[in-house]
C-alpha cells in the first residue's frame, strides 16, 4: 500500500464510518472525503489490487477470491415464510475492496422515468407491493451524468430512441463492436427493433490514469488487471485515499451498529482479521454493505430499545427483495464469432422496456443484450446445447466447434416487490464468527415468470432472425440464487412503509444512513449498479448539506 495514507484509531470519532466499499460505499467515501469529512470505510473482505487479479477460474469460481465464501458464511434458503430454510448457497456478492463492482459485467444503463413512478402509473398489482420512489428520474439525472463522467462510462448518447433525457453526452465513445453485437444488431433491425451500442462502465479510452480495455475476455467474475473496468476500486477509492481524510480498513467485519440511550448511533462494532472486536466511533454511520448485509446488520443490531432490529419500526427491513428476472437463449453460428475476446456486451436494445401489460397480461419490461460471459471451463460445464454428450469425442468436438461460435441472448427484467421475499436471520445456522447466518426467502411473483417466458420467446426469435444454426433456451425456473440484492430497506416518504427517506436517512435513527441496493424501491429492468452509484453520489450531496447545516446529530 502507498505511504502517506491516513489511518485513524477506532477511538477517534471520525465524521463518518461507512460499512462497505462497493459501488455505493466507494462513491460515498470519495465524495464525503473530498467534501472535507474524515471517513473510515470498513470492508469485510481483503484489499486486493490489480496485481492480485488473474484469469484463474478456480480462484474465482471455486475459491471465492472476490466474493463471499459460503463455507465460512453459510446461507439458508426457503421459498416461503412457512418453510424451514435449508443450507444453500443463495446469495453471491463482492467481498473485497470495491465490492461487486470489481467482478461485475459493467452494463451501465440508467433507469428510465417509469421506474420511479410505476405505482402511480400502474396501480396495485395483486401480490406485489409496488410503490413510487420519493425521488424521480429528474432528481437523479445529474448524478447519472456524474457516474458517467467521474467513474467512466463508454456509450453513445441519443443512440436509443427509448433513452430518458440526459444533460450531457457520454465522456467516451462506445467500446468496439463484437461479433455478438453485429449478429444481434442485424437480427434486431430485421425484426424492427432498435439496437444500440451498450453503455458500459469500461473505459474505451485511457482516462484519469487508467488504461483502456485490452479486451482480455475475463470480465464477469473477474477483477480487471489494467483498471479499465470502472469499479469503485479503480475509480473511486484512489480518489478518496488521495484526500488523506479517508482510511479504507479491509478485513473488518461489522456486526453491530452501536446506539446510545438517546437512540443515536455512536459507531460500529467489527471483528478484525484475528476476530478481535473493536468499536469504530463516528458522528454518523452509513451502511453500504449491500442489499443482503445491510438489512442483516440492522437485524443483528437489535436491542431492548430496538427489539425488531435497528431502524425497523416499519417492519420493512429485509423485505421486498428484488433480484431481477432473467431469461437466456443461446445460438451457435456458422463462422467463428470469437466472443471470448473483449468484454461481455456491445449491443443492447430497450424496445421491451415498457411493455403493454393490458395486452400481454403481465406487468414490467426488460432490456435485451447479446453477450458471451462464460470463461472456458464455465463454458464447458454449461455452454453447450443441452443434448450434447458430456464426455468423449463428441463432447470434445462440440467444445472445439462451439466455443468460438456461441452467442447468448440475455433478457433482463423487472422483479416485482413481494413482501415475503427477503432476508432475515437464520434461527439455527451460524457463520464462522458465531453470528446468525443470512436466510433468504424467495418465490418469484407469477407475473415475473410470465414475463420471462415471453422474453425467452423473443430471444429465440432474435436467434432465428440472426441465422443461428442451433439454438436453445434455458427453461424459466423459479429463482433460488440472487446477485442483484435490491429493495430490502426501501426508500420512501412514509416511515410506516419505508426504512429510509429521500436523503437516505433512516426514519428511526437520525444519524444512521443506508445507501446501496437495499434503497431501491423498484428493480428497474435488470441492471442496477449504475443506479446504486448514482444514488450514492446524490446521497453524498444530501448528507453533506445536512452535516454542513448541523442537522446530523
Partner 1 sequence: MNSSQATRRQFLLRSAGAAGIAWANAQWPSILAAAQHAHESAKSTAKPHFEVLTPEQARNVEAIAAQIIPSDDLPGAREAGVVFFIDRALKTFASDMVAVYEKGLVEVNQLTTQKFPTAKTFADATPEQQESIMTDLAEHLNPPAGGSRRRRQAGSGDFVQTIWQHTIFGFLADPEAGGNRDYAGWKAIDRDPAHSFSPPFGFYDKDYPGWQAASLETEKK
Segment 36-55, which members bind partner 1 (CB under 8 A)? Answer: 50, 54-55
Under the binding rule (CB under 8 A), the answer on residue 156 touching partner 1 is: yes
Under the binding rule (CB under 8 A), the answer on residue 355 touching partner 1 is: no
Q: Hey, which bits of 456-527 come out as E strands?
A: 470-473, 512-514
Cβ at position 54, least distance to partner 1 in Å: 6
Q: Which helix (H) or strand (E) holds 446?
A: helix 446-466
Cβ at position 124, least distance to partner 1 in Å: 31
Give the integer Cα–Cα distance in Å for 137 and 297. 29
Q: Which helix (H) or strand (E) holds 31?
A: helix 23-34
Segment interacting with partner 1 (CB under 8 A) among 7-15, 395-403, 423-431, 438-446: 395-403
- Residue of 37, 403, 442, 537 interacting with partner 1 (CB under 8 A): 403
Give the integer Cα–Cα distance in Å for 87 and 75. 6
Asked if 4 and 273 touch (Cβ cutoff 8 Å), the reply is no
Cβ at position 405, least distance to partner 1 in Å: 9
Q: Which helix (H) or strand (E) holds 267?
A: strand 265-271
Under the binding rule (CB under 8 A), the answer on residue 477 touching partner 1 is: yes
Under the binding rule (CB under 8 A), the answer on residue 228 touching partner 1 is: yes
Asked if 423 and 300 touch (Cβ cutoff 8 Å), the reply is no
Under the binding rule (CB under 8 A), the answer on residue 374 touching partner 1 is: yes
Segment interacting with partner 1 (CB under 8 A) among 112-120, 175-183, 353-361, 527-535: 175-183
Give the integer Cα–Cα distance in Å for 379 and 35. 46
Cβ at position 341, least distance to partner 1 in Å: 4
Calculate the CA dihedral of residues 453, 457, 459, 460 and round it to 10 degrees.
Answer: 140
Cβ at position 350, least distance to partner 1 in Å: 13
- Residue of 27, 92, 102, 172 interacting with partner 1 (CB under 8 A): 92
Cβ at position 183, least distance to partner 1 in Å: 6
End-to-end CA distance of the chain: 34
- Residue of 258, 339, 431, 448 interacting with partner 1 (CB under 8 A): 339
Under the binding rule (CB under 8 A), the answer on residue 315 touching partner 1 is: no
Partnered with residue 371 across adjacent β-strands are: 345, 408
Under the binding rule (CB under 8 A), the answer on residue 464 touching partner 1 is: no
Cβ at position 107, least distance to partner 1 in Å: 15
Of 119 and 194, CB closest to partner 1:
194
Under the binding rule (CB under 8 A), the answer on residue 483 touching partner 1 is: yes
Residue reference for cell 473477474: 222
Under the binding rule (CB under 8 A), the answer on residue 58 touching partner 1 is: yes
Of 278 and 347, CB closest to partner 1:
347
Residue 475: CB atoms within 10 A of its CB come to: 10
Under the binding rule (CB under 8 A), the answer on residue 382 touching partner 1 is: yes
Give the integer Cα–Cα distance in Å for 61 and 222. 9
Of 203 and 286, CB closest to partner 1:
203
Give the integer Cα–Cα distance in Å for 280 and 15. 11
Asked if 330 and 378 touch (Cβ cutoff 8 Å), the reply is no
Give the integer Cα–Cα distance in Å for 295 and 285. 14
Under the binding rule (CB under 8 A), the answer on residue 194 touching partner 1 is: yes
Segment interacting with partner 1 (CB under 8 A) among 28-36, 115-123, 210-218, 486-494: 210-218
Under the binding rule (CB under 8 A), the answer on residue 61 touching partner 1 is: yes
Burial of 400 (0-12, 13-18, 19+ CB in 10 A): exposed
Q: Which helix (H) or strand (E) holds 429?
A: strand 422-430
Cβ at position 5, least distance to partner 1 in Å: 23
Cβ at position 299, least distance to partner 1 in Å: 25
Under the binding rule (CB under 8 A), the answer on residue 214 touching partner 1 is: yes
Which DSSP category does 517 fall into? G
Segment interacting with partner 1 (CB under 8 A) among 93-101, 309-317, 400-408, 449-457: 400-408
- Residue of 121, 275, 400, 493 interacting with partner 1 (CB under 8 A): 400
Half-sphere CA count of 521, side-chain side, radius 13 A: 26
Partnered with residue 470 across adjacent β-strands are: 332
Under the binding rule (CB under 8 A), the answer on residue 432 touching partner 1 is: no
Can you give the length of the chain in residues? 553
Segment interacting with partner 1 (CB under 8 A) among 245-253, 399-407, 431-439, 502-510: 399-407
Cβ at position 195, least distance to partner 1 in Å: 9
| Pairing between β-strand 246-249 and β-strand 39-42 as defined by DSSP bridges | parallel
Nearest to 20 by CA among 46, 51, 42, 52: 42
Q: How many residues bind partner 1 (CB under 8 A)?
A: 74
Amino acid at each position: 500500500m502507498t505511504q502517506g495514507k491516513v489511518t485513524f484509531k477506532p477511538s477517534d470519532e471520525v465524521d463518518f464510518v461507512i460499512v462497505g466499499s462497493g459501488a455505493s460505499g466507494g462513491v460515498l467515501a470519495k465524495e464525503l472525503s473530498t467534501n472535507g469529512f474524515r471517513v473510515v470505510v470498513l470492508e469485510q473482505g481483503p484489499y486486493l489490487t490489480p496485481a492480485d487479479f488473474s484469469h484463474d477460474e478456480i480462484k474465482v469460481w471455486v475459491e471465492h477470491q472476490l466474493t463471499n465464501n459460503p463455507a465460512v458464511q453459510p446461507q439458508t434458503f426457503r421459498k416461503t415464510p412457512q418453510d424451514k430454510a435449508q443450507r444453500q448457497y443463495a446469495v453471491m456478492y463482492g467481498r473485497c475492496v470495491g465490492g461487486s463492482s470489481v467482478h461485475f459485467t459493467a452494463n451501465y444503463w440508467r433507469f428510465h422515468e417509469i421506474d420511479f413512478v410505476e405505482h402511480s402509473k400502474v396501480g396495485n398489482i395483486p401480490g406485489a407491493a409496488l410503490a413510487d420512489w420519493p425521488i424521480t428520474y429528474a432528481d437523479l439525472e445529474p448524478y447519472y451524468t456524474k457516474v458517467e463522467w467521474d467513474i467512466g462510462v463508454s456509450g453513445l448518447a441519443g443512440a436509443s430512441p427509448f433513452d430518458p433525457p440526459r444533460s450531457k453526452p457520454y465522456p467516451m465513445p462506445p467500446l468496439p463492436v463484437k461479433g455478438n453485437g453485429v449478429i444481434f444488431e442485424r437480427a434486431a433491425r430485421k425484426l424492427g427493433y432498435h439496437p444500440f451500442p451498450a453503455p458500459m462502465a469500461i473505459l474505451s479510452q485511457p482516462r484519469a490514469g487508467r488504461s483502456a480495455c485490452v479486451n482480455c475476455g475475463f470480465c464477469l467474475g473477474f477483477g480487471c488487471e489494467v483498471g479499465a473496468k470502472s469499479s469503485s476500486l479503480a475509480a473511486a477509492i484512489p480518489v478518496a485515499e488521495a484526500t488523506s481524510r479517508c482510511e479504507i480498513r479491509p478485513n473488518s467485519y461489522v456486526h453491530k451498529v452501536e446506539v446510545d440511550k438517546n437512540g443515536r448511533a455512536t459507531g460500529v462494532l467489527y471483528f478484525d482479521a484475528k476476530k478481535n472486536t473493536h468499536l469504530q466511533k463516528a458522528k454518523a454511520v452509513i451502511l453500504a454493505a449491500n442489499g443482503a448485509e445491510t438489512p442483516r446488520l440492522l437485524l443483528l443490531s437489535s436491542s431492548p430499545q430496538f427489539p425488531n432490529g435497528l431502524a425497523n419500526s416499519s417492519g420493512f427491513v429485509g423485505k421486498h427483495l428484488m433480484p431481477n428476472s432473467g431469461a437466456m437463449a443461446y445460438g451457435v453460428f456458422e463462422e467463428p464469432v470469437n466472443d471470448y475476446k473483449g468484454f461481455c456486451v456491445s449491443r443492447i436494445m430497450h424496445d421491451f422496456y415498457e411493455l403493454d401489460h393490458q395486452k400481454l397480461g403481465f406487468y414490467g419490461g426488460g432490456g435485451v443484450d447479446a453477450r458471451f460471459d462464460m470463461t472456458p471451463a464455465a463454458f464447458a460445464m454449461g455452454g453447450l446445447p443441452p443434448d450434447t454428450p458430456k464426455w468423449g469425442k463428441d463432447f470434445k468436438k462440440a467444445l472445439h466447434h462451439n466455443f468460438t461460435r456461441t452467442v447468448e441472448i440475455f433478457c433482463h427484467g423487472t422483479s416485482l416487490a413481494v413482501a415475503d421475499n427477503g432476508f432475515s436471520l437464520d434461527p439455527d445456522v451460524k457463520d464462522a464468527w458465531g453470528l446468525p447466518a443470512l436466510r433468504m426467502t424467495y418465490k418469484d411473483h407469477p407475473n415475473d415468470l410470465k414475463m420471462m417466458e415471453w422474453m425467452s420467446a423473443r430471444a429465440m426469435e432474435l436467434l432465428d432472425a440472426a441465422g443461428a444454426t442451433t439454438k436453445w433456451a434455458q427453461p424459466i425456473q423459479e429463482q433460488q440464487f440472487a446477485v442483484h440484492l435490491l429493495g430490502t430497506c426501501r426508500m420512501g416518504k412514509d416511515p410506516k412503509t419505508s426504512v429510509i427517506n429521500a436523503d437516505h436517512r433512516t426514519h428511526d435513527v437520525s444519524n444512521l444512513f443506508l445507501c446501496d441496493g437495499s434503497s431501491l424501491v423498484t428493480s428497474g429492468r435488470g441492471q442496477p449498479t449504475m443506479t446504486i452509484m448514482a444514488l450514492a453520489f446524490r446521497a453524498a450531496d444530501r448528507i453533506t448539506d445536512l452535516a454542513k447545516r448541523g442537522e446530523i446529530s
